[in-house]
Chains A and B, each alone.
Chain A
Amino acid sequence: MTEKPFHPAGVNPALVTPFKKDGTIDEAAFRRLIRFVLPHVDGLVPCGTTGEFPYLKPAEHRRLVEIAVEEAGGKPVIAGTGAESTKKAIELTRNAQEAGATACLIVTPYFLHPSDKGIYQHYREIAQAVDLPIILYNIPQVVNAYLPRRVVEDLADIPNVVGLKDSSGNLTYTMEVLEYAGDRINVLIGHDEVVLNALAGGCAGMILASAQVYPEVWQAVLKAVQAGDLATARELQFRVQKLSRIFCRLGGGVAVKQALRMMGVDAGVPRKPLKSVGGALIHEDRAEIQLELEKLGKIQVSSFEFRVPSGPVEGRFEAVGIMAKDVAAHEMRVGTGAAGDGVEAIQIDLLCGAKSSPLGEAWAYQLTYPRHGFEALTTILEPNLTVRPSTLILPANELRGLRQANMIYGPTQNAVAQAIVDRLAANVIPESAMHTHVMIVQAAVHPQALDRRVLHHNAYEATRAAIDDAFGGS
Chain B
Amino acid sequence: MSKTKSKKQDWFKGVFPALVTPFTLADEIDEQAYRALIRYVLPHVNGVVPCGTTGEFSSMTFEEKQRVIAICIDEVAGRVPVLAGTGCTTTQETVELTRWAKEAGATGALVVAPYFLKPTFNEVFDHYKAVDKVGLPIVLYNIPQCAGTHYKWWTAEGMARAFDSVIGIKDSSGDMPFFMALLEKLRGIVGIFVGHDEIVGPALLAGADGMILASANVIPDIWQEIYQAAQRGDIEFVRQRQKEIQILTRIVVRKGSPQAVKEALRMMGLPFTNSDARLPFVKGGEFEREDYEDMRTQLANLGKLSPVKKLYGGQVVDYVATPETPGQLEDLTLCVGEGFAGPPFRELAHIDLLLGWKDGPVGRALERALGEPRPGHELAVINERPRTLLVPTVTVRGKKARQLVYEEAVSGVNLAIEHAIQEGALPEPLLDDVCLIANVFVHPAASIRRRVQVNNYKAMRGAIRKAIEGRPTLAELVAEKDAARHPFRYAP
Contacts from A to B (Cβ < 8 Å):
242, 245-246, 277-279, 282-285, 288, 355-356, 360-361, 363-365, 367-370, 372, 375, 378, 380-388, 390, 406, 409-411, 413-414, 417-418, 421-422, 424-425, 431, 434-436, 438, 452-453, 456
Is B485 within 8 A of A382, CB to CB?
A: yes
Query: Which of B329, B334, B462, B490 is close to A364, meaning CB atoms less than 8 Å apart?
Result: B334
Question: Is B3 on the interface with A (CB-CB < 8 A)?
Answer: no
B149 to nearest A CB, angstroms? 21
Query: Which of A279, A288, A368, A381 is close to B484, meaning CB atoms less than 8 Å apart?
Result: A381
B429 contacts across to A, CB distance below 8 A: none
Other contacts beyond A385-B484, A438-B336: 18, CB < 8 A: A242-B491, A277-B445, A355-B331, A360-B360, A361-B365, A364-B334, A368-B368, A368-B369, A369-B379, A369-B391, A375-B393, A380-B486, A381-B484, A388-B470, A406-B488, A417-B481, A425-B481, A435-B470
Known: A355-B361, A360-B334, A361-B361. A410 touches B368 (CB 8 A): no
Question: Is B374 on the interface with A (CB-CB < 8 A)?
Answer: yes
Known: A282-B346, A385-B480. A424 touches B474 (CB 8 A): yes
A424 contacts across to B, CB distance below 8 A: 474, 477-478
Query: Which of A368, A384, A388, A406 is close to B354, meaning CB atoms less than 8 Å apart?
Result: A368
Query: Which of A356, A360, A378, A453 is close to B338, meaning CB atoms less than 8 Å apart?
Result: A378
Is A360 within 8 A of B477, CB to CB?
A: no
A364 contacts across to B, CB distance below 8 A: 334, 354, 356, 361-362, 364-365, 437
Known: A364-B356, A411-B489, A414-B489. A387 touches B445 (CB 8 A): no
A240 to nearest B CB, angstroms? 14
Known: A384-B339, A452-B490. A369 touches B374 (CB 8 A): yes
Q: Complex Cα distance A390/B354, Å?
A: 11
A123 to nearest B CB, angstroms? 32
Is A385 within 8 A of B472, CB to CB?
A: yes
Known: A367-B391, A409-B488, A425-B478. A278 touches B289 (CB 8 A): no
Is B336 within 8 A of A386, CB to CB?
A: yes
The proximity string for B residues 192-229 relative to A, scoring 1 for CB distances below 8 Å and 0 otherwise, is 00000000000000000000000000000000000000
| Minimal Cβ-Cβ distance residue in B for A367 | B439
Is A368 within 8 A of B365, CB to CB?
A: yes
Q: Complex Cα distance A112/B332, Å?
A: 62
Is B365 within 8 A of A365, CB to CB?
A: yes
Is A278 within 8 A of B481, CB to CB?
A: no
Question: Is B466 on the interface with A (CB-CB < 8 A)?
Answer: yes
A284 contacts across to B, CB distance below 8 A: 492
A406 contacts across to B, CB distance below 8 A: 488
- The 9 lowest CB-CB distance pairs between A and B, nearest first, are A410-B488, A383-B340, A364-B365, A381-B484, A414-B486, A384-B289, A390-B336, A278-B445, A360-B361
- CB pairs A–B below 8 angstroms (23 shown): A242-B491, A242-B492, A288-B491, A288-B492, A360-B360, A364-B364, A382-B485, A382-B487, A383-B486, A384-B284, A384-B288, A384-B289, A385-B289, A385-B484, A388-B336, A388-B470, A388-B474, A411-B488, A411-B489, A413-B488, A418-B481, A424-B474, A424-B478
Known: A245-B492, A278-B444. A384 touches B338 (CB 8 A): yes
Is B361 within 8 A of A363, CB to CB?
A: yes
Q: Complex Cα distance A276/B393, Å?
A: 24
B167 to nearest A CB, angstroms? 40
Is B487 within 8 A of A367, CB to CB?
A: no
B312 to nearest A CB, angstroms? 13
B340 to nearest A CB, angstroms? 3
Is A410 within 8 A of B369, CB to CB?
A: no
B377 contacts across to A, CB distance below 8 A: 370
B337 contacts across to A, CB distance below 8 A: 386
Question: Is B189 on the interface with A (CB-CB < 8 A)?
Answer: no
A431 contacts across to B, CB distance below 8 A: 474
A367 contacts across to B, CB distance below 8 A: 352, 354, 365, 391, 437, 439
Is A385 within 8 A of B477, CB to CB?
A: yes
B329 contacts across to A, CB distance below 8 A: 435
